[in-house]
Amino acid sequence: MTPDDSMLPALALILGGAALAIFMIELFIPTGGVLALLCGSLGIASIIVGFLYSPSFGMILLAVYAIAAPVLIVVGLKFWARSPLGKKMILTAQDGGHTDVAQGGVVALAPIGTRLLALTALRPIGFVDFNGARCDATTETDFVDAGEWVEVTAHREGAVRVRRAKTQNPTA
């Protein structure tokens, strides 16, 4: 072992620490994965330097990273979801595109045969108006444009299944 080899463990740990720091930065600065790629490269470089020092030190680093990486990703994503950026990127029930829900948290579904107005284009999924509330709807066959009348034919998976009404007269 040369005097230069004694610096290899410190270099391996510095590279690992840099990988950890860049991982934390990646959680809060959207770079499209560039920092994640750099983080992975630094982690691999750390393992290589560890193996250059000794095979046992390299295996220890490999085992630690193999256990720590999934744990850090899960914990990091949980923190990220609570960050201002995460809150902007994750949809919640308060967002404008949600389905209105009746009291008690149960989606109000229109009875079969009811005529409803399509609020959005149903291609094949969209929203219909049911007593002033938005309900998820899926068409049976054709696409339906917004503003057309549809009839409820079934209930499936918390949404109404509809088909275009035979007449587009709202009183029919």
Domain ranges of the chain: 3-89, 103-164
Cβ neighbors of 157 (< 8 A, separation 6 or more) are none
Q: How many other CB atoms are found less than 10 A from the CB of residue 21?
A: 12
CATH of domain 103-164: 2.40.50.140
134: which residues sit within 8 A by CB, 6+ positions away?
Answer: 98, 99, 100, 119, 127, 128
Name residue 115's beta-bridge partners. 151
Rounded distance, CA 39 to CA 29, Å? 14
Per-residue pLDDT of the chain (172 residues; tens, 9 = 90+): 555 788 999 999 999 999 999 998 988 887 878 998 999 999 999 999 999 999 999 999 999 999 999 998 899 888 888 887 777 777 665 544 444 444 444 455 788 888 889 999 988 888 988 888 888 888 887 788 899 999 998 888 778 899 888 887 766 5
Residues paired with 159 in a beta bridge? 156
Look up the pTM and report it. Answer: 0.52
What's the CA angle centered on 72, arms 17 and 83, to 5 degrees? 100
Identity of the amino acid at 22:
I
Contacts 24+ apart (CB under 8 A), 33-39: none
